Structure 1
Amino acid sequence: MSSGRERTVTRLHDELPAIVTRSVEAIRAAVPAYRDLRGPQLDEVEHIAARSLRRLLDLWIDDSDIERDRLAFRAIGTARAADGRPLTDILRAYRVASDVFVRHVVDHHLDDLEPADVADLSLMVLRTLDAVSEAIIDAYTAYRDRLTSDRGQAQAAFLDDLVAGRQNSSGAIADRSRQLELALAGRPRLLIVDPTDPTRPVSEHDLDTILRALGATPHTDRSDRTPRTHLRTRRGTRGIVLLPTTVDRVALDTVCAALDLHGCLMSGRPIADVAAAYRLACDGLDTAPGHAFADRTLLDDGDCQLLVLLTARATADTDAVVSSVLGPLRDPSNTHLLDGLRAFISTGTATAAAAELHVHPQTLRYRLRRAQELTGRDPRHAWHRLALDTAIQLQQLAGPIRTR
């Protein structure tokens, strides 16, 4: 080994953090599945890049056998298969990082190197990429074969990853959905249910009964190979079901009541945001008073946003409370309905509210019915009155509705 190569390797060790940063930036720019990674997943990519590039330096120095790293790269292949990242994107990420590394050496240290050093570097990178690709492909394929052999178990694992936030790339979600023969909605509804009896957990039978009531195929039925539009799993005592956007809320509320379940039905969020919806729903269910379920078994996004605000959680968002509770009433065309609702809540009766607004009591009652139809909230119920009143007050504090 030339003295120039030895000096270059010493300098490269000092420059490695900057090379890793550029490598990760290049990977995110070139590989779609890595573009949306955040938090722990991005940290993991940076850690793997740093470890891999450090290993390239070692191999360039001592020409040791890459085979001893095979187990580590097999573990990476298994992990990427589990989180649904496309295999081609994984291998491309290694090629991109290697390209950044080689170009840095050529651009900054070529004058210190002999032709043999550059040739050894190029051959070493090619051999390493070949060995790494083989190890990752073998492990990735083996894990996928095991995963897809039991479709129900694999689909439950997919939902586990979604609610845990291990799957937040739209590209990876689409790829894994295709592999598991799923046809999930882009903005699905997320159902989280708890038993009203805290001494028992939600059962597999409960979840299958919910799916049958909605006309969906339970996961225990393996004879139907039609792409499923739903997923279901359990966490602790709770059941979790990912449903199509068109699910019948009334039917869902009815079957949950018959099973002595209550819970929360979240809607309107992209599938990549399932983890955030799940955390919000759990916060709501953990703190909801009994009378929040007085006229229904399922809370919604507005209830959970209100509960997060009332319990002073760091994630509280006043704009979200207003939009999720009032919904269509925020439209300027429905200002008369919102005014009627505000007057009813402040006076306590339809007659007094009508007098305040100088309208006939029947007109006021019609406005209240329309407001209830649009929001799903009856202001005569204590919980709904609290939700509506809070949202109205927050909107007033924020200023008047802007006309279009």
Structure 2
Amino acid sequence: MSLARVVEQPQADIPREFAEALRPYLDVLAEEMIGEIQASVPEYSRQSGAYARIVRHAVEEALAGFVNRVGDRGASRSRLLEVFRAVGSGEAAEGRPLDSLQSALRICARVAWRRLAEESERLNLSRQRMCDIGEAILVYLDEIAAAAADGYSEAQVRVAGELELRRRRLLDLLVAHPAADSRAVADLARSVRWTMPRTLACVALAARAQGDLPRPGLPPDVLVDLDRSDPCMVVPDPEGPGRHGLLNAMAADWTVVIGPAVAVGEAGLSLRLARDALALARRGVLDGRRIIRVSEHLATLMIFQDESLIQIMGRTRLEPLLALRPSQRDRLAETLLAWLQSGNATEVAARLHIHPQTVRYRLRQATELFADQLGTSGDRFELEVVLRARAAGLTPAPG
């Protein structure tokens, strides 16, 4: 029920004298209502502090408003309804359910009616007058309850917006480089009820298409900001139950790169590595059609950290390939890399889907060309690095 509609509701026909007869009992009624509310509604059970003040304020305003309404037909309803809009707004801000407030209002009506029934003979109230007053109490209860619900709904929207802003700010602090002050992070985490995890992983995202994309349904402990120029997420406890399938639904609309799991203070590093891997996916070095896990591509990331260094290393290490035709270079480089990684001709044949004899022929050729680079572990390591770079799309030497 909207605020505009409740203001226009008619008031039952109650004699003005009833208001004056009821006024001396307002303090007693208020105490009785407060006592029953605190005894019956757990959210208002505290006997002191802000909770008690909220209950007392609402009860006293409700009683005074009803008496003034009956005693003065010209009395404005707008102030009372604004008061209960504010009460509803406060309840939303405190995180208490609207049902608790509505239960408290119903208790007020029940106490008022019970006291009225006890005093009806002394006040000389006829049965018809009792019915009129009962109806007035119910109509009045509907009005203030609707006003409180309006305020509650508006505040929920506002609180949700403020909460989202704080969550985004928390994400910013977590991924900051250099790392933000740990106390500031902890304070902000508490304010949004985000439990500090043992480990987390950052996720770098890139939209596959222009325009608005559907918002993914994610657990509340996942921090996300899709509106920034470089969308990203923070996923707590990334190795926990159900986490591996968490981002599958996003892969249809986004390129998803999951950084390594790190301690909270290293979130910026996780995001940086995820963004580096995302850049490689955009270049076609990594397959962006499926979810990319940085932990599976650390060697590739290392190789591409300093491409100029790889270029210089490759000029020397891969120079023997220049003596071959382009197609021969590719076959020999592929075979030599597989052998350096496995050390076994049979395994190389299985990996490359070629005959073992073909592998042995190519390896003899490679041994002749690269004889001076296969003697020490250091030489073999550098040769493998530049061959991996070549296989990943970086051409460190001519040809």
TM-score (norm 2): 0.40
Give the structure with higher Rg (CA): 2
TM-score (norm 1): 0.39
Whichever structure has more helix as a proportion of its residues is: 1
